[in-house]
Amino acid sequence: MNRAIKFKLRNGKLVTIRRIREKDYEDIMKFMDKFSRDVGAVQTNQYAGQPKKDKDQSIKLYESDNNLFIGVWDGKNVVGIASVNKTAPNHPYRMGKRAVIGLMMLNKYTHNGIGNKMIQILEKWARENGVHRLCATVRHKNLPSIANFIKNDFIITGVKYDTAYINNQWLHEYLVEKLIEE
Ligand SMILES: CC(C)(COP(=O)(O)OP(=O)(O)OC[C@H]1O[C@@H](n2cnc3c(N)ncnc32)[C@H](O)[C@@H]1OP(=O)(O)O)[C@@H](O)C(=O)NCCC(=O)NCCS
């Protein structure tokens, strides 16, 4: 993704979606802090009170050609982020042709079309960057996310049992995948 885009939400509001860069680190940390205390956090690995992500490591990830990190801005505030990461870019067995997707946004902004748009942007980057297989893991009761991936032609290819213990129950994860011609 080279340029910022304006995206119109279902409620008519315009937000900006663009690549996250080094200069955005503090804004992203503010978002992570808000998100980790919001209801959607339990659908991810984020949790209230978690340590701040390491600055150097985060910036390295934002700026690397092996990943795309995108953010959604409502005015000056980041309200959602998503990423696609090649997991082993230089591996001789072409394991670098696999990339993992993740998405999260504040609850107030969900069901407005952002998640669908972010998957499309991440998939476009994957196609342009030699990815063969796109993957994600989704908690088994996260119906909005499962539906979002299925809407974008991912299929459920596996299940991992007991991957997280939240609110007194073990939760499982579905693996969702999409093959890209490469
Ligand atoms: C899951 C998430 C990324 C989806 O993004 P979103 O912006 O809410 O989704 P969209 O509005 O773009 O909707 C895309 C599709 O997802 C599905 N969907 C979205 N919200 C849904 C809901 N509340 N119930 C059922 N399906 C839903 C629908 O299939 C929808 O397509 P449609 O509008 O044609 O019906 C977002 O809700 C989120 O960040 N949740 C909290 C964190 C999280 O779960 N992250 C994903 C971890 S794998």
Domains and CATH numbers, the chain: 5-136 (3.40.630.30)
Q: Mean pLDDT, consecutive 10-residue segments, the chain of 182 residues?
A: 93 96 97 98 96 96 96 98 92 86 98 97 95 96 98 98 97 97 68
| pTM listed for this prediction | 0.96
Q: What is the pLDDT of residue 1?
A: 83
Q: What is the pLDDT of residue 182?
A: 62
Q: What is the pLDDT of residue 117?
A: 97
Q: What is the pLDDT of residue 177?
A: 98
Nearest CA residue ID for atom 37, ligand 1: 110
Q: Which of 116, 134, 156, 177 to mutate to test the pocket of ligand 1 (most atoms within 8 A of CB)?
A: 116
Nearest CA residue ID for atom 19, ligand 1: 144
Q: What is the per-residue pLDDT across 136-145, written as a single tens digit (0 to 9) for each?
A: 999 999 999 9
Q: What is the pLDDT of residue 166?
A: 95
| Ligand 1 centroid distance, CA of 2 (Å) | 25
Q: What is the per-residue pLDDT across 100-141, written as a single tens digit (0 to 9) for each?
A: 999 999 999 999 999 999 999 999 999 999 999 999 999 999
Nearest CA residue ID for atom 9, ligand 1: 115
Q: What are phi and psi of 101, to 5 degrees?
A: -105, 145
